[in-house]
Amino acid sequence: MALIKAVKGISPVFGENCFLAENSTVVGDVVMGNDCSVWFNAVVRGDVNSIRIGNKVNIQDGAVLHCTYEKTKVHLGNNVSIGHNAIVHGCTIHDNVLVGMGAIVMDNVEIGSNTIIAAGAVVLEGTKVESGSIYAGVPAKKVKDINQELINGEIDRIANNYLMYSSWFKE
């Protein structure tokens, strides 16, 4: 069973149909919507500030969500995928976003809807990522606008696949 722990009297709250891998960790002021999944070795650490997660969000293996004490919170919209070993820290990510494997998203970043953050990208503190775009590199910069094919073929596909994958572990 996942490590679920209260911090300073505040316990995580989970929506319906969520999957938490046995060695995932969710602590403190975390509110998660419906149809979410937190995968193996992922950490969602709401100990120093709040983390709010929408519906149909997947936090893949080894990813870390955290905040800065009394300064930044994490807010994830709906249909968001956080790739393997990504770090999401004190930022806002709107609906329909894919954060690629190993990407780092720093404090006070705001990522608009229908966006892909490429694998390995580093989105520097305070960056405003425009909706409907792909950002890549170190530091991350806009490389192109996203088309509907990528929204359907990558963002939606991955979020839907993770909902399917989580069902395999509930049998």
List the domain boundaries for the chain.
3-168
* pLDDT tens, position by position, 109-155: 999 999 999 999 999 999 999 999 999 999 999 999 999 998 999 99
> Looking at the domain covering 3-168, what would its CATH class be?
mainly beta
Phi and psi at residue 159, to the nearest 5°: -60, -45
**Which strand (E) or helix (H) includes residue 167?**
helix 157-168
Residue 25: per-residue pLDDT:
98
Structure tokens at 75: 């807010």
* pLDDT tens, position by position, 37-75: 999 999 999 999 999 999 999 999 999 999 999 999 999
Q: Is the dihedral of CA 47, 37, 102, 151 positive or negative?
A: negative
Give the Cα separation of 135 and 14 in Å (integer): 31
